[in-house]
Amino acid sequence: MTAGATALAWARARASGPLRVPAGTPAPDGMLRLPEPSGDGAWLVPQVPESAGTRVLAEMGLAGPLLEQPNDTARLLAAALRCCWEDPLAPIWPGVTVASAPVLGVFGEVTGPRDELAHRRSAVAGLRRLDQAGWLIWDETADTIRLGPRVALWNASDLTTLRQLWRSMPGPASVPGQTSVPGQAPVPEQAP
C-alpha cells in the first residue's frame, strides 16, 4: 500500500473510527484487517500501543474512551459481550449476531429496577454510542446486535478480565422471559 493510501486510511479512521472496506483490501501500516464472517467485507482498525492514554489518542486524532453515561454504556457493552460472545474460550471477534431483546434483558438485570421507559432510553443511547465508536454493530432495522471490530484489539490481559466478567454475569437464558435454543441466540418465550 502506498504512503498516500496509508495516510488516507488513517485520516478516515481518525474521522469515523474503524473503517468498513471491501473484501481483499490490504491493511495499511499500523492497522489490523478483520474480515467479516460473511466474507463480503472487512474492517480496518487502528492499532495503538496498549500504553496509549487519552493524550496520545488525542494527538493521533483517534477516539478515546466513551465518557458520556460511562456506567450505563459499560454495562450495555458487558451485556452485549455476555450475549454475543458465546464461548469465552473462543476468540472474541467476530462473535455472533443476536436479537436486541436478550442484550436488553441482561442489561436490565445488571442495572437493576428502573422505569421501563428510562431503561429503554438509556439502552438505546448506549447502543448508539457503542455502535458509533465501533464497539458494537447495531442494526436498528433488523433489531440485532453483534460485537464491533474494536473488541478485536483487546489484549490477553483484557480478555482474562472479560472472561471473569462474562462468567459472573447473568446469561441470556437466565433472564426472565428468555429461553435458550441450542446453537442459536436466546429467543423470547411464547405465551401458551
pLDDT by position in tens, the chain (length 192):
788 888 888 788 877 778 899 998 888 888 889 998 888 999 998 887 666 666 665 665 555 545 456 788 999 999 999 999 999 999 999 999 999 999 999 999 988 887 888 888 899 999 999 998 889 999 999 999 999 999 998 888 889 999 999 999 998 876 554 443 333 344 444 333
| End-to-end C-alpha distance for the chain, whole angstroms | 59
Do 76 and 39 share a structural domain? no
Do 24 and 79 share a structural domain? no
Could you give the CA distance from residue 12 to residue 176 in angstroms, rounded to a whole number? Answer: 43
**Model pTM?**
0.73
Domain enclosing residue 51, as ranges: 3-60
Do 97 and 42 share a structural domain? no
Q: Answer for the pair 40, 23: CB distance below 8 angstroms, yes or no.
A: yes
